[in-house]
Chains A and B, each alone.
Chain A
Amino acid sequence: MSVILDKHTAVERQPNPRRGKGPSAFTIFWRSVIGRAYPRIIGTQRELSWLFFDIFLPFMATMSYVLVYEAIGAPASYKGLVLVGGAMTAFWLNVLWSMAMQLYWDKEQGNLQLYMLAPTSRMAILTGMALGGLFATTIRAAIILIGGSLIFGIRYQATNWFALVGIFFLSLIALYGMGMLLSSIFLVYGRGAWQMTAALQEPVFFVSGFHFPVKALGTVVATGASVVPLTLGLDAMRQLLFPEMMQQFQFLSVGTEAAILAGLALGFGLVARWALLRMERKSRQDGRLTERGN
């Protein structure tokens, strides 16, 4: 049996007989993803109150916005525009409160130290969080969209469903990448993270044009708001769903928006990974990983 020299202690030690026989890094990564996504998917079914509070009531809130247009006799396509935006708010809320805030919340709960001790990538944990959240949120968004379309008789004029689905997923990948980035940034924050997240909620509804075409805010604001992937994602999806009405409100062409979204998805993913490592190191150095109630 070969003997190796420990580089730190300079003493002989026996090689681990299990070394090389355990699961690969790839397997561990995906097991972690599934493990973290699991409670988000299963947990929702275990608490039936969630169905009421998280689906039915937000559905009614979205209906309220649509009824504003109903009150002033707007054409059906305008109601559709609000409905699509209302459905997508679910994703923004999920990213803010269940992605960006989650590591902070885990720190408060004492779970974060367990993540840090686990022999897995933190990116795997964030990916699992994102996928689990996506699943539950997609159900909520779909119910809002389908229910609202049926109630208000909204007709979609989409001709390119492939592009529509592509833009939808591209937007979500970029959005959840942004959520991962915010999550790693908020890792080092105290209670300010909570307030910052709250501060991002309604203003983003406004500047990203969740309830009206973003072009109405002017090119400068719309360009600035494009850092939130749903700004361009919503504009592109509306162009594909209501091509006639969106001719006068088109901010950028669908192709350009898709290209920017792809760039954002890649960029947020890479920056999130870098930020997570950096913030984790900083948190370790400052002793903030186990900090609670600050």
Chain B
Amino acid sequence: MQRFLQAFRVGFWLGWKTESNWTNPLFYILWSLLVPMSNGLIMTMMLRVLQRTGNVNGADLLPYVFIGTVVYSIVALLLDSMAWAVLEDRERMGMLKYIAITPSSMYGYLWGRGFAKVSVNFLAVPLTLTFGALVLDIPIQLSTIDWPLLLAVVVLGLLIVTFAAQILAGVTLMIARHAGFVGQAVSGALYLFTGALFPITVLPIWMQTIARAVPLTYWLEGMRRALWVDARNPAYKTGLEQLSTSNLLLILVGAAVAMAVISIPLQRRAEHRAKEKGLLDMNTAY
């Protein structure tokens, strides 16, 4: 554990320097707002265009979609961060092999790199949600936010995503650079199965089954319940309104444990295989 924490601290420090010292802190924060803000605005415009032309049926999904897409930006960044750290250290800096031969924990190091990349987003996401509440009339109010639930869901969700990111980093250790966007690609695909943009009831039954098996579906549902007082309104047909909040938390705890059990041996296996096949200093650039 001590080795893990030490490697995490070093990875975080290095990641923070790498990510942020190309500019001044204020510009860096503004820059980090671009992704969640743009995604939120895209969804807003998509829905508003239809509303303006009267081509819309059913409930106004904007709060559902806005919260989902803004919160999901953390998932996308975190999933991408560790895989990208592997590529950057292996191919650009050429230092992954040196980390591998030290007695420190590569696991802890990659966690540090990943968290450094998303740390500024812990500010960007609340700022974007505030923008949504103030400018786009998204019904989020400080007085109605369920703070204990929010805290519990954020911690559990981050654990789940981090373990998932670790799995992608393990995969990236064994493949070439075209998969530089492996994290982005996976997070893009998970859009489909997590109900980030639309209620999962829109999907065919077999896809709904997959969506219900993806822990992030419950994380996003938990975030909506914590932030938005009307999240369980049956009018939105989320397919999860019958699920009690305590059961939802239990699912998230179980998912976090399961992801840890999968990702830790997988990372070790990936490291071992990368050493065996001489992939730790692979350089691929087309």
Residue ranges of A at the interface with B (Cβ–Cβ < 8 Å): 39-40, 43-44, 47, 49-50, 53-54, 56-58, 60-61, 63-65, 67-75, 78, 82, 97, 105-106, 108-109, 111, 190-192, 194-195, 198-199, 201-203, 205-206, 209-213, 216-217, 248-249, 293
B contact residues, total (Cβ < 8 Å)? 51
Q: Report whether B178 and A68 are in contact in the complex, using a CB–CB cutoff of 8 Å.
A: no
Q: Report whether A68 and B55 are in contact in the complex, using a CB–CB cutoff of 8 Å.
A: no
Q: How far is the CB of B136 from chain A (nearest CB, A)?
A: 13
Q: How far is the CB of B58 from chain A (nearest CB, A)?
A: 6
Q: Report whether B178 and A216 are in contact in the complex, using a CB–CB cutoff of 8 Å.
A: no
Given contacts A53-B182, A248-B53, 13 further A-B contacts (CB under 8 A): A54-B185, A58-B185, A61-B192, A64-B196, A67-B203, A74-B56, A75-B55, A109-B283, A109-B285, A191-B22, A203-B38, A211-B46, A216-B49
Q: Report whether B185 and A57 are in contact in the complex, using a CB–CB cutoff of 8 Å.
A: yes
Q: Which of B45, B61, B178 contacts A206 (CB 8 A)?
A: B45
Instruction: Determine if B250 is an interface residue (Cβ-Cβ < 8 Å).
Output: no
Q: Report whether B22 and A50 are in contact in the complex, using a CB–CB cutoff of 8 Å.
A: no
Subset of 15 A-B contacts with CB under 8 Å: A44-B286, A53-B178, A58-B189, A65-B197, A67-B198, A68-B47, A71-B58, A71-B61, A71-B202, A72-B58, A73-B57, A195-B22, A195-B31, A201-B35, A206-B38
User: What are the residues of chain B within 8 A of A105 when measuring CB–CB?
Assistant: 285
Instruction: Determine if B48 is an interface residue (Cβ-Cβ < 8 Å).
Output: yes
Q: Report whether A43 and B46 are in contact in the complex, using a CB–CB cutoff of 8 Å.
A: no
Residue ranges of B at the interface with A (Cβ–Cβ < 8 Å): 18, 22-23, 31, 34-35, 38-39, 41-43, 45-50, 52-53, 55-58, 61, 65, 91-93, 175-176, 178-182, 185-186, 188-189, 191-192, 196-199, 202-203, 283-286
Given A72-B50, A206-B42, A60 and B198 touching (CB < 8 A)? no
Q: Report whether B38 and A69 are in contact in the complex, using a CB–CB cutoff of 8 Å.
A: no
Given A109-B283, A206-B41, A82 and B46 touching (CB < 8 A)? yes
Closest to B51 in A: A72
User: What are the residues of chain A within 8 A of B196 when measuring CB–CB?
Assistant: 64
Q: Report whether B92 and A61 are in contact in the complex, using a CB–CB cutoff of 8 Å.
A: no
User: What are the residues of chain B within 8 A of A111 when measuring CB–CB?
Assistant: 285
Given A68-B46, A216-B48, A203 and B22 touching (CB < 8 A)? no
Q: Report whether A54 and B178 are in contact in the complex, using a CB–CB cutoff of 8 Å.
A: yes
User: What are the residues of chain B within 8 A of A97 when measuring CB–CB?
Assistant: 180-181
User: What are the residues of chain B within 8 A of A249 when measuring CB–CB?
Assistant: 49
* Bound form: Cα–Cα A56–B181 in Å: 13
Given A49-B176, A50-B179, A53-B178, A74 and B55 touching (CB < 8 A)? yes
Q: Which of B65, B92, B283, B284 contacts A68 (CB 8 A)?
A: B65
Q: Which of A44, A75, A78, A212 contacts B42 (CB 8 A)?
A: A212
Closest to A43 in B: B286
Sorted from nearest, which 9 A-B pairs have the closest CB atoms?
Answer: A61-B188, A73-B57, A202-B38, A57-B185, A64-B191, A71-B198, A43-B286, A60-B189, A57-B189
Q: Report whether B202 and A70 are in contact in the complex, using a CB–CB cutoff of 8 Å.
A: yes
Given A54-B178, A60-B189, A71 and B45 touching (CB < 8 A)? no
Q: Report whether A43 and B178 are in contact in the complex, using a CB–CB cutoff of 8 Å.
A: yes
User: What are the residues of chain B within 8 A of A201 when measuring CB–CB?
Assistant: 35
Q: How far is the CB of B11 from chain A (nearest CB, A)?
A: 18
* Bound form: Cα–Cα A237–B61 in Å: 28
Q: Report whether A61 and B35 are in contact in the complex, using a CB–CB cutoff of 8 Å.
A: no
User: What are the residues of chain A within 8 A of B198 when measuring CB–CB?
Assistant: 64, 67-68, 70-71
User: What are the residues of chain B within 8 A of A198 when measuring CB–CB?
Assistant: 35
* Bound form: Cα–Cα A49–B199 in Å: 30
